[in-house]
Structures are given as C-alpha cells and as structure tokens.
Amino acid sequence: MTKEERKKIYDKAEELWGLVAQYDQAIEEMGELIVAINKYKRKCLYGEYNGNSKIIDNLIEEIADVKMCIEQLEGFVGEANVERVLDQKMQKFMGQIAEMTKVKQDKK
C-alpha cells in the first residue's frame, strides 16, 4: 500500500472518529509499544527468551501500530515540518555519536 493510499484511510478515520480520538489512539498505541518493548527486553535481551516468537511478533505489531499513528500525526502537523526538525535532530545525534566515539577512543 502506498503512502498516499494510507493517507486516504487516515483522512477517513479522522472524518469518522474525529481528531481528538485519533490523538487518543496514538497515545494508547504508544503505551502498548512501551509495554511490548519492556517485555521484549525482559524476555529476549536479559537471557530469559525461550523461543516464543509471540513476544517478537507482538513487538513488530506494536511498532507497526505506532508507525501508522506517526504517519497520521505527521498529516496533522505537516510532514515537511516533521522532516525539517528530524534533519536537525539527526545532525545533533550524529554529533553526540562522534563525541561518544572520541571519548571511548580516548579511554583506550
């Protein structure tokens, strides 16, 4: 499905349920992603993973839900605005990575 096709669906959702409900849905989905990340960390990263793919599947599902919400929120505030600020934040992030890399190299 293309981004344009998804946008039409988001527009229909806003028309049906309203803007406030879409913001509330985004908040709910982000909370569910937090829970899924914590469960994944506890079960998969801390050595308790028993091969249960439901944990990973749930994490993937929650990421997809939040990604849908992010796309919808971008439509509300303007995707170009988000991309502009994202570029600024990525520049800052790259600087932090470079600084931390230098600190780690200096410790060796």
Helices (H), the chain: 3-17, 19-40, 53-77, 79-107
pLDDT tens-digit series, residues 18-29: 999 999 999 999
Domain spans of the chain? 3-77, 80-108
pTM, entire model: 0.85
- Closest to 34 measured CA to CA, from 62, 69, 67, 74: 62
CA distance 8 to 33: 25
CA distance 44 to 39: 8
pLDDT tens-digit series, residues 29-87: 999 999 999 999 888 887 666 666 898 999 999 999 999 999 999 999 999 999 999 99
